[in-house]
Amino acid sequence: GDLNTEDIINIAKNIDDTINGIDLTSLVDATLIEALETGKDKMLEIQTIIVGLPDITPGIDVIKENLEIIINEFDVLKENVGTLQGSLRQILDLFGDGGAQFDMAGKVSSTFQLVDAAFEYFSGNAVMNFLDESVEIITTVVDDYVNHAIDAAENHIG
């Protein structure tokens, strides 16, 4: 069937509305990674304090183990957040408004406008004018060469 551009733009608007219902600002904010670093640093400070406690403190081994797990998870979380932020930024660069909002409808609309302009260009006289001018130039060159060859054969050979 025919391509209904308005329906496609409306689908893109629905995607925009759905995604823009999520506040992506905090997810792509560089301070999120910094906050994770700060959290890890605080856990390392606590670890330093706990390591100094005597081993006779009840449950100290469990606390040390769990603290080590938490510190390692901060590293994993930081890496995952970095990956998430990188992916979100790429998607926002492609389909966003330059900030933290999706503008897929705008991108789809501008793509359709480019396609319409291309069809308008090719359905107009521009291509035929170009071909006519090119053929005329080639024909002139060939005609001049043929005239030169005839002149040379009649007047300069033999």
Question: Which amino acid is residue 53, in one-letter code?
Answer: L
Instruction: Provide the H-helix boundaries in the chain.
Output: 5-20, 25-28, 31-51, 60-95, 104-123, 126-151
For residue 43, the model assigns a pLDDT of 92
How far CA 56 is from CA of 46, 50, 118, 145, in Å, comes to: 18, 12, 80, 106
Q: What is the mean pLDDT of residues 18-29?
A: 84
Residue 153, pLDDT > 90, answer: no
Question: Which amino acid is residue 72, in one-letter code?
Answer: N
Q: Which residue has the higher pLDDT, 154 or 43?
A: 43
Residue 158, pLDDT > 70, answer: no
Residue 2, pLDDT > 80, answer: no
Q: What is the mean pLDDT of residues 43-66?
A: 84
For residue 75, the model assigns a pLDDT of 92
Least Cα distance to 18 among 105, 93, 112, 111 occurs for: 105
